[in-house]
Amino acid sequence: MMRSRREPARVVITTMALLAIWMVVPCQVVAQAVQGRTTSSGTSGGLAAIDAAARNNKYLFIFFWKTNDEQSRNMYGVLQSAMGKLAQSADAVGIQVTDPREKPVVDKFDVSRAPLPLVLAVAPNGAITKGFPVKFDENELRQAFVTPCTARCLKALQDRRLVLLCVQNQRTQFSQAAMSGVQNFKADPRFAKATEIVALNPDDRSEVAFLQDLKVDPRTPTAVTFVLAPPGTPIAKFAGPVTKDQIVAKVTAAQSGPCAGGQCGPNGCGPKK
């Protein structure tokens, strides 16, 4: 009799315990997954992951999160799912922005006030190729992979350097004249330290996407030179030969206006009274 009386209570307790385990364990698993490497050691897992990815010539997706809420868990799920398919070319790491051990990473990217969760895609050369705030999907994550030349330009721009992108090769006309003008600009002491020349071969098939972004035909018969200014603004495009003075004029105009080209803001498209 005694056993039979206790039986229902045991069943209830066991059921409740199982239910509790069923509810808590997945949350813990996700939380640990999101925490990633940061909880496994006393030092910043983020910095280690950045170094490792650069060494292995891989992209790194850094998942910044603050609270273990539904949005963070969902987005981490999206990232994990994408990583399963992109493991060859990318790693991922989770960083809780409030974790004191990860302060160097949070400060490095200055994301303490960023919309969270946030994924930053870091190219092997250290350039941030895309930021994905709050909500993203697998396809969007794939957009973070850029061509080597794009990564070089982004890196230079993120280092606050002016990029003189020379789209040319031996086939294109005025290559020499364009390169000469660009090099003269770089030789100018006013711009020397903060200018980077990036050469782009229009025949390079790996750069087709970049050429598309630049709206340059890969079969272009003439050399094309772009002036890109930080944080990532195209300020001039020259087809054919270009001189230092032409580039200086464009850079000066862009710097002096209330906005580049003076097309907006006061005296631009603001209301006329």
Partner 1 sequence: MKLRTLVWRELFQRKSQMLTSFLAILLGITTVVAIKNITFYSEKAVARELDALGANVLVLPKSATLQDYYSADMHGEVIPEEYVLRLTMSNVQGVDNLSPKLCVPVNLQGKDYALTGILPKSEFQAKAAWAGAGIFSRPIGCGAIDVAAEPRPDDKRTLVRKRVIETLDTHEILVGADAAASLGLNEGDSLTLLGESFSVVAVLPQTGTVDDSRIFAHLHTVQRLSGKDGVVNCIEIVGCCKEISAGLVDNVNKLLPDAKVVTVKQVVATQTKVNGMMERLSLIFLVIIVVVGGAGIANYMYANVFERRREIGTLMALGAESFTVLRIFLLKALLLGLAGGVGGYAIGTLLAVTLGPRLAGVPVLPMPVLALWAVLISAGITLAASYFPARRAARLDPCATFQEV
Q: Which residues bind partner 1 (CB under 8 A)?
A: 110, 113-116, 120, 128-131, 133-134, 143-144, 146-147, 150, 153-154, 157-158, 160-162, 190-191, 193-195, 209-210, 213-215, 226, 228-237, 251, 254-255, 258-261, 263-266, 268-271, 273
Q: Nearest approach, Cβ of 43 to partner 1 (angstroms)?
A: 26
Strand order in the sheet with 195-200: 195-200, 162-167, 224-229, 233-239
Instruction: Return the closest-CA partner of residue 165 out of 208, 190, 173, 157.
Output: 157
Is 76 or 109 the residue whose CB approaches partner 1 more closely? 109
Is 21 or 187 the residue whose CB approaches partner 1 more closely? 187
Distance of CA 150 to the CA centre of its chain: 11
Q: Nearest approach, Cβ of 235 to partner 1 (angstroms)?
A: 6
Is 40 or 256 the residue whose CB approaches partner 1 more closely? 256
Q: Nearest approach, Cβ of 14 to partner 1 (angstroms)?
A: 46
Is 33 or 140 the residue whose CB approaches partner 1 more closely? 140
Q: Nearest approach, Cβ of 74 to partner 1 (angstroms)?
A: 18
Is 7 or 188 the residue whose CB approaches partner 1 more closely? 188
240: exposed, middle or buried (C-beta count within 10 Å: 0-12, 13-18, 19+)?
A: middle
Q: Nearest approach, Cβ of 135 to partner 1 (angstroms)?
A: 10
Distance of CA 191 to the CA centre of its chain: 26
The answer to whether 202 touches 221, Cβ cutoff 8 Å, is no
The answer for residues whose C-beta is within 8 angstroms of residue 33's C-beta and 6 or more apart is 76, 80, 94
Q: Nearest approach, Cβ of 238 to partner 1 (angstroms)?
A: 11
The answer to whether 15 touches 71, Cβ cutoff 8 Å, is no
Q: How far apart are CA 245 and CA 267, in angstroms?
A: 26
The answer to whether 197 touches 166, Cβ cutoff 8 Å, is yes
Is 171 or 190 the residue whose CB approaches partner 1 more closely? 190
